[in-house]
């Protein structure tokens, strides 16, 4: 699909632009002609590395790097001047870290999200797309709880949002991203040690960042506002993922695994859409759109019948061969 109409000539701000999402977003923006791209994040070192990586790319001339924290409203107000589109990706996203320091995630994922909304409304930014996660659905860990509230803040009627459309895009695990399990498994394989797996039955949704970003662009083009876009994705057992990865790396089938137990705040399976949300969801070919509950006709029988949730347990699981094929295609194994 072509997104020139919503990306060309636009001033784009990416909060958390130095992360995995931001890096891939820049690649996906390369075929387009945005007017400017502002990368907004806290750590100067990550910004420096990103500048080094991109300095020879034509898109670099349109980029600016700004140090700031989404917890700081004044800073966000300053950087949102003349911005047309915000991709809000900045977050604390590691489950174990946030279990230890939940209030830090409250400050970043909740207060920070509110600051993004407030600045976007004050500056009459046309579109905000916030990135969410399956862990925000029926959350059991502090990270998911804060991301669930981020969604609510993005889509609430708290502030008058006449000039700005807000959408969220929700997806599951992006395996190549920072903090994913792959670097850990790599080091274990190099040390000829078994691969640590939390639980034998654990399943997760898997998708590529490119697929996720396609839905982000789609929501920008087709979103009416106040909706959550959810990517349809394949799921897999984590044991199969580990076996597929180890086989590609070592050539050995049935590489040894070590079951270490579920970590604090982890679920066995993830849910992308709860049964309650299914009542107000529209299904399309490769995604769902969750509309706000109050817009659903609660008297219609259609909205009263129970719908099955959309989770990593009740969807198709990729086989080891399919996982190997996917990893090869994505060059996860080098």
Catalytic residues, by residue number, are 135
Which listed residue (21, 185, 205, 217) binds ligand NAP by CB under 6 A?
21
Pick the closer one to ligand NAP by CB: 36 or 97. 97
Contacting ligand NAP within 274-333 (CB under 6 A): none
**Are 246 and 110 a contacting pair, CB within 8 Å?**
no
Pick the closer one to ligand NAP by CB: 89 or 236. 89
Give the contact letters, 140-179, x = binds to ligand NAP (CB under 6 A), - = no: -------x-----------------------x-xx--xx-
Q: Can you say whether residue 261 is alpha, beta or left, with left for phi > 0 and alpha for psi between -120 and 50 degrees? A: left
Does residue 75 bind ligand NAP (CB under 6 A)?
no
**Closest separation between CB of residue 281 and ligand NAP, Å?**
18
Burial class (CB in 10 A: 0-12, 13-18, 19+), 3: middle
Does residue 80 bind ligand NAP (CB under 6 A)?
no
Alpha-carbon distance of 232 to 103, in angstroms, equals: 32
Residue 140: partners with Cβ closer than 8 Å, 6 or more residues away: 265, 267
Alpha-carbon distance of 334 to 332, in angstroms, equals: 6
- Name the residue with the smallest CB distance to ligand NAP: 19
Q: Which of the ranges 1-9, 15-23, 251-259, 301-309 carries the binding residues for ligand NAP, by CB under 6 A?
A: 15-23
Does residue 18 bind ligand NAP (CB under 6 A)?
yes
Site size with ligand NAP, rule: CB under 6 A: 29
13-30: string of b/e by CB count within 10 Å (b at 16+)? bbbbbbbbbbbbbbebbe
Pick the closer one to ligand NAP by CB: 137 or 278. 137
Which listed residue (3, 20, 234, 274) binds ligand NAP by CB under 6 A?
20
To which H or E segment does residue 113 belong? Answer: helix 112-122
Does residue 97 bind ligand NAP (CB under 6 A)?
no
DSSP string computed for 266-332: --SS-EEE-HHHHTTEEE-SSEEEEPPGGGS-TTSHHHHS----EESSSSPBPPHHHHHHHHHHHT-
Gyration radius of the chain over CA positions = 20
Does residue 27 bind ligand NAP (CB under 6 A)?
no
Residue 248: partners with Cβ closer than 8 Å, 6 or more residues away: 324, 327, 328, 333
Alpha-carbon distance of 15 to 22, in angstroms, equals: 8
**Closest separation between CB of residue 53 and ligand NAP, Å?**
14
**Are 61 and 68 a contacting pair, CB within 8 Å?**
no
Which listed residue (12, 19, 281, 289) binds ligand NAP by CB under 6 A?
19
Pick the closer one to ligand NAP by CB: 121 or 174. 174
Which listed residue (133, 203, 208, 239) binds ligand NAP by CB under 6 A?
133
Query: Interface residues with ligand NAP (CB under 6 A)?
Result: 15-22, 41-43, 46, 69-71, 89-91, 93, 108, 112, 131, 133, 147, 171, 173-174, 177-178
């Amino acid at each position: 699909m072509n997104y020139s109409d919503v990306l060309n000539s636009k001033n784009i701000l990416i909060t958390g632009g130095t992360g995995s999402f931001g890096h891939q977003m820049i690649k996906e923006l390369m075929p387009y002609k945005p007017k400017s791209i502002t990368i907004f994040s806290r750590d100067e070192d990550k910004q420096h590395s990103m500048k080094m990586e991109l300095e020879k790319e034509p898109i670099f001339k349109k980029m600016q790097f700004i140090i700031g924290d989404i917890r700081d409203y004044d800073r966000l107000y300053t950087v949102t001047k003349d911005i047309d589109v915000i991709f809000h990706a900045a977050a604390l996203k590691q489950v174990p870290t946030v279990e230890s320091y939940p209030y830090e995630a409250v400050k970043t994922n909740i207060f920070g999200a509110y600051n993004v909304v407030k600045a976007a409304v004050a500056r009459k930014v046309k579109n905000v797309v916030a990135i969410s996660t399956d862990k925000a659905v029926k959350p059991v860990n502090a990270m998911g709880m804060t991301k669930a509230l981020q969604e609510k803040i993005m889509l609430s009627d708290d502030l008058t949002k006449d000039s700005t459309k807000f959408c969220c895009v929700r997806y599951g695990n992006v395996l190549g991203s920072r903090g994913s399990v792959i670097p850990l498994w790599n080091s274990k394989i190099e040390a000829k040690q078994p691969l640590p797996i939390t639980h034998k039955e654990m399943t997760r949704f898997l998708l590529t960042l490119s697929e996720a970003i396609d839905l982000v662009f789609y929501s920008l083009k087709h979103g009416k506002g106040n909706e959550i876009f959810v990517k349809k994705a394949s799921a897999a057992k984590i044991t199969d993922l580990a076996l597929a990865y180890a086989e590609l790396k070592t050539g050995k089938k049935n590489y040894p695994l070590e079951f270490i137990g579920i970590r604090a705040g982890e679920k066995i399976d993830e849910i992308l859409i709860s049964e309650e949300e299914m009542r107000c969801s529209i299904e399309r070919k490769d995604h769902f759109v969750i509309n706000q509950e109050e817009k659903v006709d609660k008297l219609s029988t259609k909205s009263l019948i129970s719908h099955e949730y959309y989770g990593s347990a009740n969807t198709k699981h990729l086989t080891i061969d399919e996982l190997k094929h996917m990893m090869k295609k994505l060059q996860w194994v080098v």
